[in-house]
Structure 1
Amino acid sequence: MPENALTSRRTPRRILRSALRSSPRRVALRRRALATAVVLAATGTVLAAAPQQARAALPAQSIADPVHYWNDVLQNVFRRVGGGPVPMARSAAMMNAAIYDAESSYQLKWKGKITSEPYIKAENYLGWAEGPDEEERVIGRTAYNILLGLYGNKQSRYADQTQYLDSRFRERFGTEPTAGDFLDLTVVGPMVKQMTDARTGDGSDNPQVYVGDNKPGAWRPTSYPDMPDASCDEDSDAISPFYGQVKPFSLASGSQFRPTALTQYGSYEALVASDAYKQQVEAVRTAGADKPTAATPVINRTPDQLAAAWFWANDNNGTYKPPGHMLQATREVAKARGLGVYANARLFALVSLAMADTGIAVRDAKFATPIDLWRPVSAVREGGLDPQWKPLLKSPTGVNVSPCFPAYVSGHASFGGAWAGVMKRYFGSDNISFDLTTDEPQAPVKTRHFTSFSAAGREDADSRIWLGVHYPWDATDGLALGDKVANQVFTTKLRTL
């Protein structure tokens, strides 16, 4: 849906009348308010009437930092709506970059400066004295309205999340989203508009469907009689096949860092005849099988690798998927390192921008290259190695499954590489110890310890081999792709002033 189709709950004219009545500087405010009303009418931002003269204290908060709070809301939206990880990464980038610009606006207005560049623009907005909880309100109302535009409108491709978003807004502020707040006029509206304008028409709603190449080595649906998957039964079920054409947030194009390991073969026939390909298939066949079979009697996977495989999974709907896992990891490291609100806003924006562009680059590698590589289950079964072989990855009902899109390169590995790449650049060191958690219900271990960001990214990548859904080159090249995108984002966006 177009993000400027947000649900408007009060008319700009009524808002203006209320705002102008309450202001002692009517002439100056009228000019600013009229201009801002045009902004708000275009975005449909949920708006306030007059500024409240006295505000009740915020309710007791279980999550102190507003950046963490709204990312928690976003993670729960991911759990509720399901779907592919790449659109989720786009949503995270939109919300967190808008939060960062809103927080930068607050810092510019009341702290006198910003220490890093805004993503689009920071607004030195109208105001004579800082209001109560103003930083919290600027961030929260911006985040809420971005999410409302993405997930709250009935035109959305997802189930309407308005009630959930409203409940989390009330939980945070103790008021209704439509309650009066003049910040909607002065700063929130411009922040929402500039982000929605930047992403409208970016190609993310491309309705085309995928048509496979129908050759040995080419991706095909991974539903089999003994591992049925109704969601991956036709070529057209392929998830986000044209997302590689979406306008990136920082890259010149989705193909800017396109990996080339498979292009050297030129054709599916040359690929599947190569020794390198056969080695790749054998590696995942023996490390990623669910159970031993007559043709695959031994599984080369340790108990710790099994635990890691499920720790990083988050493939099934009902989890926060890989983008949500990376946001959770960011939150856990940021909390342990004691980051403040402004620092958190920048870190989450960098991570989210890198994930969004990585997702676009991954879809380019999967679908826009000459070889759309089939999944290991297809290679092992249809290649004649083991007709009973199944990957370790299972649905919540215990049915073995593979993700419904080509293998090369791994999205998990690429997201892990992008996350690690941003984190080590942001903190100026890779060798930082931390603990991470998972919400994967099938994970036997919910917390794992790491001594570097690269180690976490590497384990995320390798976990896909142990789950039986990726080849080693999917993991290695995905990690490299993610790091290249992270470097691009870190060196060109939100740079330190």
Structure 2
Amino acid sequence: MHGRTARRREPARRGHRRRIAALAVALAAAAGTLVAAPSPAVAAPNFDGDPIHYWNGVLQQAMRTRSGAPGPLARAAAMLNGAMYDAESSYRLRWHRMTSEPYLEAYRYDAILEGPGEEERVIGRTAYKILLGIFKEQKPYLDQKFTDRFGTRPDEFDLLDHTVVNKVVARMEGARAADGSDDQRKYTGDKVPGAWRPTHYADLPDPSCTQESQAATPHWGEVRPFAIPTGSEYRPPTPDLYGDYDRLLASTAYRDQVDKVRRAGAANAPESERSRDQTAAAWFWANDADRTYKPPGQILQHTREVATAQKLTTYQNARLFALVSLAMADASIAEWDVKYRTPIDLWRPVSAIRDGGLDRNWKPLAGTTPCFPAWASGHASFAGAWAGVLEQYFGTGDIAVTLTTDDPKSPVRSRSFTSFRQAARENADSRVHLGVHYPWDATDGLAVGDKVADYVTTNKLKPIP
């Protein structure tokens, strides 16, 4: 009797299990793409390529429309990649395995089954909202890039917004609120020989740099860092070791620095002073002009090229781009601390050579000069941060790489290197060959970036034992 009862109950149990399974599938679908009514015009998603690469490409294009100093763009990269990494960490925590610590927080969000394209959606919806908060004026472009990827509008309902995406976005935006990045106070210079002054000349006109008040982001060194303790943590000693402008200008070291850039950075420098390859490298690394992706964009591009060559997974890409971007953002803060918050706001080579009475007609290869003090080099600090992070991430710096440029004046589209450090050194030295920096700007900038990278890789996004 007991056996017959069990056999009679078995069809009912199977039916009950089928109903539970159907309910689970329906709930998973709801968790994935719940909408009020299906749209017959919805296009299929186009998840071509890694989502971390895709959204950094969107950021690079947004950077091309912004002018000014690189600090705010580096901050945007850190916010985007820090948030995408935390979104990916949340996805890994919920469905797979999280092998390294989040930047701010990973959320074990509620769901029954993994929805369709969930990893793409968690990353992409987070990226879109972070970018929209930073580049509000570019909403039509960002909307289109979202639709190109997902086939739907970004304002269509997705339960993931409520379970995880909005939490990640709010956490990042809250962490960066009142960080000092919107400080609009103007710069007042020291007005003595050796001190920075506008670099507008009749034969080198630069409408963006005609007065001290136009100095770019003079208080960026006071922005709250993403990782390092303070912006002043890694100040190098030179040329502050001279104490004041008079002692600096009277020193042999300063005169040697000026002479080197006067010879190697002149627009008409002979090949005996600046080789054809050094000229090519100078323009390859420039990316200062509008409609380029600027130095932070080139760092992101080079990170993508290395990651692609090394065949990284999405999770690996998220962590690498976050580490690079955090280091780059903090390097910009540390570098601007050196530029503006130390006793000597060093004038640019064009001012040292022309206003210093060495050659009133001297012109730098670059033509115009960035509108902020020379010491130390922002390009160099970004390069040091990039190389330092990649060396730690891959466990070696001796990886051959081929990298590209966005600068329209570059005579080559790509250059090859035997190591990350070789590429970083060329990036730093290129500023001397463009005539916009002294050699010690390059050396000190590399050192600042390297120290920032060491702190970031040691203290953030650490592997979980």
Q: TM-score, normalised by structure 2?
A: 0.91
The aligned residue for residue 143 of structure 2 is: 166
**Closer/same/farther in 2, CA of residues 288 and 255 from structure 1, 3 Å limit:** same
- 1:93-242 equivalence runs, <5 A: 93-111=78-96, 113-152=97-136, 160-242=137-219
Using the TM superposition, give the Cα deviation of residue 80 of structure 1 relative to its aligned residue in structure 2, in angstroms: 1.5
Larger radius of gyration: 2
| Deviation sequence 1:322-380 (CA, Å, 0-9, x none) | 10000000000000100010000000000000000000001000000000000000001
Q: Which amino acid aligns with 1:74?
A: L
Q: Indicate the residue corresponding to 2:445 in structure 1.
A: 478
Contact 2:43–2:152 (8 Å) recurs in 1: no
Provide the secondary structure at the position in 2 that maps to 1:81.
coil
Gaps (5+ residues) in structure 2? 1-22, 25-30
Aligned residue type for 2:179:
D
The answer to whether residue 74 in structure 2 is matched with residue 89 in structure 1 is yes
Secondary structure (helix, strand or coil) at the match of 2:208 reads helix
Q: Are the aligned partners of 2:86 and 2:102 in contact in 1 as well (CA < 8 Å)?
A: yes
Distance 2:377 2:297 in 1: 16
Asked if the contact 1:51/1:182 (under 8 Å) is kept, the reply is no
Q: Note the alpha carbon deviations across 1:379-410, whole angstroms, 9 max, x for none.
A: 011111111101101xxxxxx20000000000
- Where does structure 1 differ by over 2 angstroms across 4 or more consecutive aligned residues? 48-61
Task: Kindly provide the amino acid, as one letter, of the partner of residue 404 in structure 1.
Answer: C
How big is each residue's C-alpha offset from its partner over 1:113-150, in whole Å with a ceiling of 9 and x where there is no partner? 21000001100001001011000000000000000011
For residues 486 and 372 of structure 1, do their structure 2 counterparts lie closer, same or farther at Cα, with a shift above 3 Å needed?
Answer: same
Q: Which residue of 2 aligns with 1:356?
A: 329
For the 8 Å contact 1:244–1:363, the answer to whether it is kept is yes
What is aligned with 1:379? 352
The offset of 1:54, in angstroms, is 11
- Percent identical among aligned pairs is 58
3-state secondary structure, aligned to 1:148: helix
Aligned partners of 1:442, 1:353: CA distance in 2, in Å?
29
- 1:408 paired with 2:392, answer no
Residue in 1 that maps onto 2:229: 252
In the alignment, what sits opposite 1:451?
A: 418
Task: Give the TM-score, by structure 1 length.
Answer: 0.85
Indicate the residue corresponding to 2:393 in structure 1: 426
Whole-Å separation in 1 of the counterparts to 2:149 and 2:70: 27
Match in the other structure for 2:433:
466
Equivalent-residue separation in structure 2 for 1:281 and 1:329 (angstroms) = 31
Assess if the C-alpha contact under 8 Å between 1:52 and 1:181 holds in 2. no
After TM superposition, list the pairs within 5 Å mapping 1:275-294 onto structure 2. 275-291=252-268
- Answer yes or no: is the 8 Å Cα contact 2:335–2:378 preserved in 1: yes
1:222 maps to a residue whose letter is T
Distance in 2 between the 1:266 and 1:53 partners? 70
The correspondence of residues 11-90 of structure 1 with structure 2, limited to 5 A, is: 50=35, 58-61=44-47, 63-90=48-75
Deviation at 1:84, TM superposition (A): 1.6
Q: Deviations over 1:245-293 (max 9, x none)?
A: 000001111000111111211100000010000000000000000015x
Residue aligned with 1:465, SS: helix
Name stretches of at least 5 consecutive residues in structure 1 with no aligned partner. Answer: 1-23, 26-32, 34-47, 153-159, 394-399
Q: CA RMSD in A?
A: 1.8
Matching of residue 304 in structure 1 with residue 271 in structure 2:
no
Matched, 1:326 2:299: yes
> Is the CA contact (8 Å cut-off) linking 1:51 and 1:181 kept in structure 2?
no
Aligned to 1:18: none
* Distance 1:238-1:76 versus aligned 2 partners, 3 A rule: same
Which amino acid letter does the alignment assign opposite residue 207 of structure 2? A
Contact 2:221 2:335 in 1 (8 A): yes
Does the aligned pair in 2 maintain the 1:221–1:404 contact within 8 Å? Answer: yes
- Of 453-462 and 80-89, deviating more is 80-89
CA deviations on 1:1-49 (whole Å, 9 max, x unpaired) are xxxxxxxxxxxxxxxxxxxxxxx89xxxxxxx9xxxxxxxxxxxxxx97
Deviation at 1:434, TM superposition (A): 1.0
How many residues get paired?
A: 434
Between the aligned partners of 1:207 and 1:256, the Cα distance in structure 2 is 24
* One-letter amino acid of the structure 1 residue matched with residue 114 of structure 2: E
Quote the offset at 1:83 in angstroms.
Answer: 2.3
Retained in 2: the 8 A contact 1:289–1:299? Answer: no
Task: Write the letter of the residue equivalent to 1:408.
Answer: W
